[in-house]
Structure 1
Amino acid sequence: MATSTRFPEIRDNLHLNNGVFGTYLTLGGIGSLTAFIFVGNIVHKFGIKPVILVASTGMFATMASVPHIKNPEIWLISNILIAIFWVSFHISNNGQAIHRQEEIGELILPKLHGLWSLGALFTSILAIVITPYVSLAWHIDVLMFLMWLFTMYGIHKSSPYFIDKSDDETSLPRISLASLIASVKAQPVIAAAMVLAMQMEFASQDWSAIFVRDSIGMSASASIYGYTVFIGAMIIFRFKVHALHEIFSESQLLKYLPIFGATGFIIFIPIGTFVAESNQYLGFALALIGFAIAGFGSSILAPTLFGIAFRNSSLPSSVVVAQLGLISAVITFFVKILISWVAQATSVTVALMIPALMLLATAKFSYLGRATKSN
């Protein structure tokens, strides 16, 4: 998240246009695909702790190298490595959360995603404060070292609760690309809903800073506000998930949140861009409203769909995460390239309408959720 808030600077350091920058960023998905194929099995074989240790250390070390890279091809390689480590961390962390959630019968996953969002919000706010005064290299290197220390402490404290290599399922079929695709076919609708639901979050992470910088015309430090507002809105709903489930059923949330988030984004982002031509700050404020509404609308969709998928599967939690992650990574790869070149050919504003429409389409899958409210 720390690097995504300063993507405009990274893009300029590499001397790339929006299309090539977005394509190289997306090609990091090769690493995601690799990890989704193999890591679910590795977690099952060795347990959570060794995987999450290697993944977090590799991720922070590779991300710390990004500000020092001036060659686009080397940056591409680093993106692939970051994706491998990040997906390994993602599978381990979400697999552990789903396992624990089923164990104690309480919603943990949305809160876990909320904590992740809180960390993203913290790094965004930090970037807003220090960007005018601190170089990209100092910002990322120091932050990555501190985050690595905190993560090591968290892993140490969580060790008693980690899934051991023998704690999940006692029998697991060998996982390959073909078998993962075949098993995803058992839940194709959930996989499709997951892909649609997550694109708004991915696009905001990749393009919000560039949108604010290029389309609205704000400064480098102000460009970070778009993602900060988006992630802040996500946090509010993710930590209020129990209250939401007391008022609405799972099915209702899957229907109304995407409609609310997508409609607000589709209205306010273009209006903000248009108004910014004559009144930059008013246009900026309108765009921020759009990001906030989109954050609310997409907040709990992914963790909710993960929970639904796990309820419908007999496989271990880490493998369920890998299954959904694989198909999501494949389709997201092409969606991100499409967004990149639409941004290059037209504008970032137009390109951002693609994930907004995908979010809107998520409402069609509301029937996947439970129709009863939580007690």
Structure 2
Amino acid sequence: MTKKDITPELEYKTLTKLFFLFGVGIMSWIPRFPDIKAQLGLTNGQFGSIISMGSVGGFISLLTVGHIVHKLGTYKVLIASTCALYLGFILLINTTSSLVFLPIIIAVGFSISAFHISVNSQAFDCQTRISDPIIVKLHGLWTLGAVSTGLISGLLIGRISARTQLDVIFSLVLLLSIHYINKLRPVSLLPQPEDDHYSIKQVFTSLRFDRLIAGGMICAIFLEISMGDWSNIFGREYLGITGGLITLPYILFMSAMIAGRFQISRIINWMPLNRSANIGAAIGGIFFLLGVVVSIAFGETHKYWAFGVFSFGCFVAGLGTSFITPSFFNAATARSALPSAVVIGQIGLINNFLIFCGKWVIAWTAEFTSLAVALLIPGLLVLSIPLFSKALLSGSAQSQP
């Protein structure tokens, strides 16, 4: 297949499959965190800390991969990062040693960021040829993949081992991803060695800390990260829920995010994007905090009732915040004169540092107080989003959220 045979619409359809598989792949092990934590023999604080080390790999990747993409093009980086990512995951879930786990999680974090930069660079390039806000929709496909794997895990927990399930998923996602990356090869971004935008020195000298973008994105995305890291452990260890039911809050949260991201065009037709974000953040943050507070107050005496309220709070929070993170992502490119891949790298550098610090705060708050108290932190961050939503008024951020 040649470049002229691949229309922008066909390129977009192929990207949807890659984003879906990316969601399935990197989120498939999260519902199995309680099993992996037990397999490693770690406490909440220790497990949260070692998981956060993936951000170190991501930070290194964000310093270097933009330059590599520019020199080699997206195709080679997509292939290399895909292979490294899923082979690394297979090693991760088959080890019982935290000393072995640590360097592998750093390598996996590097590979996730490498794939993220290259596939989003390709998506932004595709968006220039399609008059539709495809970035938010592609993020919705990623979320759909994450929910799909959560549903699978919910059905399989207690029936087959985490190792067996994840070995199969990672192997399938690896093969399918390579297939679709090869389909994109004729239209993949080409190497541009003559352009020095992507040197490591340039990353630092051109780095701009956009307070509104950085603050808004971390407040929005940290709830999603905390749900992935801790919701299943919260259900099992804090509320005493057993079996596949522990995945319900995460599945409801991510399902609501899918619904919100696919309805983004309707949302921005109803009201300005920044106002939508303010309302969504307020409602989502309040309901999430309500679910956590009810769990604290009634978890010991009425655990299933508390679990139900927490699950509903997660659903509302997912719906309210669904479109906010990708909207800030687009606003960042609208507010910068730099190429989109440079902006992606700079956002990633700042976010990775903030996420790394936040994960340590959550982990050790859970260790020294309780996981329920720790989960109040992302809820409060969501309520802070209106402080930064002015950034969403940026031109193309509204037309292409």
Which stretches of structure 1, 4 residues or longer, exceed 4 Å deviation after superposition?
371-375
Deviations 1:241-292 (A, max 9, x none): 1111111212212222211211111112221343332222211111101111
Deviations 1:320-360 (A, max 9, x none): 11100000001111110010000011111110111111121
Match of 2:299 among 266, 269, 276: 276
| Preserved CA contact (<8 Å) 2:196 2:202 | no
Quote how far apart the aligned CAs of 1:306 are. 1.3
| Preserved CA contact (<8 Å) 1:273 1:287 | no
The one-letter code matched in structure 2 to 1:137 is: R
Q: Which residue of 2 aligns with 1:308?
A: 331
Deviations 1:178-214 (A, max 9, x none): 6435534253321222222211111111111111111
Quote how far apart the aligned CAs of 1:295 are. 1.0
Distance in 2 (CA, whole Å) between partners of 1:105 and 1:165 is 26
Q: Which residue of 1 aligns with 2:150?
A: 124
The one-letter code matched in structure 2 to 1:190 is: I
Q: Which residue of 2 aligns with 1:22?
A: 48
Structure 1, unpaired ranges of 5+: none
Match of 2:133, SS? coil
CA distance 1:217–1:359, change in 2 (3 Å):
same
Q: Which residue of 2 aligns with 1:321?
A: 344
Distance in 1 (CA, whole Å) between partners of 2:303 and 2:124 is 44
Distance in 2 (CA, whole Å) between partners of 1:156 and 1:248 is 40
CA distance 1:181–1:268, change in 2 (3 Å):
farther
**Pairing 1:89–2:112 present:** no
Structure 2, unpaired ranges of 5+: 1-26
| Preserved CA contact (<8 Å) 2:61 2:110 | yes
Deviations 1:309-328 (A, max 9, x none): 11122222222111000000
Quote how far apart the aligned CAs of 1:298 are. 2.1
**Pairing 1:74–2:104 present:** no
Q: Which residue of 2 aligns with 1:151?
A: 177
The one-letter code matched in structure 1 to 2:324 is: L
**Pairing 1:213–2:236 present:** yes
| Preserved CA contact (<8 Å) 2:334 2:394 | no
Match of 2:250, SS? helix
Quote how far apart the aligned CAs of 1:125 are. 0.3
Quote how far apart the aligned CAs of 1:113 are. 0.6
Quote how far apart the aligned CAs of 1:44 are. 1.4
CA distance 1:51–1:79, change in 2 (3 Å):
same
CA distance 1:170–1:295, change in 2 (3 Å):
farther
Residues 170-249 of structure 1 aligned to structure 2 (within 5 Å) = 171-176=195-200, 179-185=202-208, 187-249=210-272
Distance in 1 (CA, whole Å) between partners of 2:384 and 2:350 is 18
Q: Which residue of 2 aligns with 1:60?
A: 86
State the identity %: 30
Distance in 2 (CA, whole Å) between partners of 1:374 and 1:318 is 20
CA RMSD of aligned residues (A): 1.9
Q: Which TM-score applies when normalising by structure 2?
A: 0.88
Distance in 2 (CA, whole Å) between partners of 1:195 and 1:323 is 14
CA distance 1:259–1:371, change in 2 (3 Å):
farther
Q: Which residue of 2 aligns with 1:254?
A: 277
Distance in 1 (CA, whole Å) between partners of 2:209 and 2:242 is 48
Question: Which stretch shows the higher mean deviation, 49-58 or 249-258?
Answer: 249-258
Match of 1:134, SS? coil
The one-letter code matched in structure 2 to 1:249 is: P
Q: Which residue of 2 aligns with 1:101?
A: 127
| Preserved CA contact (<8 Å) 2:197 2:342 | no
Quote how far apart the aligned CAs of 1:175 are. 3.2
Distance in 1 (CA, whole Å) between partners of 2:393 and 2:37 is 44
CA distance 1:161–1:299, change in 2 (3 Å):
farther
| Preserved CA contact (<8 Å) 1:250 1:371 | no
Quote how far apart the aligned CAs of 1:31 are. 0.3
**Pairing 1:31–2:54 present:** no
